[in-house]
Structure 1
Amino acid sequence: MKKTVLSARNLCKSFAHNGGQLHILTQVNLDLYEGDFTVIMGQSGSGKSTLLYSLSGMDRATSGEVIYKDENVVKMNEKKLATIRHEDFGFIFQQMYLVSNLTLFENVAVPGYLNKEKTSKQVDEKASGLLDKVGLTKVKTHLPKQVSGGEQQRCAIARAVINEPKLLFADEPTGALNRKNTKEVLDLLTNLNENGQSILMVTHDMKAALRANRVIYLEDGNIVGELSLPPYKKEDEKSRETQLNAWLTSLEW
């Protein structure tokens, strides 16, 4: 039986709108499991990113529970939230949010320096190793503006895993990339998952969703479908795509 990393129970998110309430998430129940590559799909406006932000503590749900290590993320104070976001969660976004005046190496290393359990030397070694793993060794002293968008996103992935997160959250990480860079980023995420990294990714891209072993479909703030797939293998991509496409079509995607 898989170990649960994080659970949502009756999760709701609303915003004040024109004198009333606009409901984005409605009574969402979801368990995320260790070692899974879970993808959330759905039409624009279905609440995908809101769900990811609510689960990760980047945004606070209106009601319900998000249970992580037997504590409710929804009720945590800002200090505790900041701690788990830094120590236990990793984040990748469509926009890379690299610090423009820091080198790629520094962008990766700085979050590691905040980890009091490692020395600066250990962090430097880890950052160099990660940059090598994502193919950026030769440009690690470059500033973000001096490298391509794909290289920036690979740097952002290295930064996201410097503190060995229990769960990696990715919000449309390939949305701003071309086809070649998209494949490189997806290959990196797949490799991380194959080595045990738990991932939750929001995407509208079929090619990205194919990398998942679990696909959740969101509609009007509710989970209306779930598809389980075997671990990704390139040679099975065509059959996976056929299966995923048929399932999405049945949901009127």
Structure 2
Amino acid sequence: MKDSILSARGLCKSYAHNGGQNHILNHIDLDIYRGDFTIVMGASGSGKSTLLYTMSGMDSATAGKVIYQGNTITDFKEDKLAKLRRGDFGFVFQQMHLVGNLSLFENVAVTGYLNKSLTASEVDKRANGLLEEMGLSGMSKRLPSQVSGGEQQRAAIARAVINKPCLLFADEPTGALNRKNTVEVLNLLTGLNREGQSILMVTHDIRAALRATRLLYLEDGRIIGELTLPPYEPEEEKARETQVDVWLSSMEW
């Protein structure tokens, strides 16, 4: 039986709109399992990013609850949520949000310093190791403006995993990248997952969806479909793409 690390039960998110309620998430029940590369797809406005932000504690729920390793985080105060996001969760976004006047090394290391679970020298060693793993060791002293978008995103991934998060959240991490950089970023995420990193990602890109071990389809704030896949293998990509295409067609994507 799979180990559930994050769960949503009856999760709802609504906004007041023109005197009524706009229901973004509609009573979602969902388990995220350890070791999975879970990817959520759906049309624009289906609630994908809202689901990610609500389950990660970055946004509040209107109703229902989110449970992380037995703790109901929807009851947490903001300081406790911030500690959780800083240590147990990692985040990668479409826009990299690197600090412009810090080097790539500093952008990665500062997250480790803030967590305070490692000494400064341990953080420095891990930051340098991650930059090397991301193919950025020769660029560690450069500012974000001095490297490409793909290189910025790789640095952002290093920053997201420096504290060895239990779960990595990714919101359209390839949405602003060209094809070459998209493949490089997806390869890094796939590699992290192979090493045991649990990932929850939202995307509209079928190239990204192919990397999933579990695909979910969201429509009008509800999960209406699920597809389980074996770990990604490059030589099987064509067959995998056909399988995912057929599934997406059945979802009327």
Q: TM-score, normalization: structure 2?
A: 0.99
Residue 143 of structure 1 is matched in structure 2 by: 143
> Who is 2:90 aligned against?
90
Q: What amino acid is aligned across from residue 29 of structure 2 in structure 1?
A: N
> Which residue pairs with 1:249 in the alignment?
249
Q: What residue is the counterpart of 1:165 in the other structure?
A: 165
Deviations 1:194-241 (A, max 9, x none): 000000000000000000010000000000000000111001111110
1:237 paired residue number: 237
Instruction: Quote how far apart the aligned CAs of 1:73 are.
Output: 1.5
Aligned counterpart, 2:129: 129
Deviation at 1:70, TM superposition (A): 1.4
**Counterpart code for 2:192:** L
Letter in 1 for 2:200: L
Match of 2:38 in 1: 38
Counterpart of 1:115 in structure 2 is 115
| Cα distance, 1:72 vs structure 2 | 1.2
2:211 pairs with 1:211: yes
Alignment deviations for residues 170-217 of structure 1 (CA, whole Å, 9 cap, x no partner):
000000000000000000000000000000000000000000010000
Shift of 1:115: 2.3
Structure 1 portions without partners, runs of 5+: none
SS in 2 for 1:40: strand
Offset, 1:116: 2.1
Separation in structure 2 between the aligned mates of residue 155 and residue 114 of structure 1, nearest angstrom: 17
| Residues 15-30 of structure 1: pairs in structure 2 closer than 5 A | 15-30=15-30
- What is the Cα deviation at residue 117 of structure 1? 2.1
C-alpha separation between the residues in 2 aligned to 1:75 and 1:115?
A: 22
Q: Distance in 2 between matches of 1:243 and 1:231?
A: 14
Matched to 2:148, the amino acid is S
CA distance in 1, matches of 2:48, 2:230: 23
SS for the counterpart of 1:235 is helix
- d(CA) in 2 for partners of 1:133 and 1:84? 25
Q: Tell me the equivalent position of 1:99.
A: 99
Provide the alpha-carbon RMSD of the alignment: 0.5
User: Under a length normalisation based on structure 1, what TM-score does the superposition of the two structures give?
Assistant: 0.99
Amino acid at match of 2:55: L
Counterpart Cα distance in 1 of 2:119 and 2:71: 29
Query: Counterparts of 2:117 and 2:46 in 1: how far apart (Å)?
Result: 40
How many Å separate the matches in 1 of 2:118 and 2:86?
14
* Residue matched to 1:180: 180
Find the aligned partners of 2:214 and 2:115 in 1 and give their Cα distance: 32
Kindly tell me the number of residue pairs found equivalent between the two proteins: 253
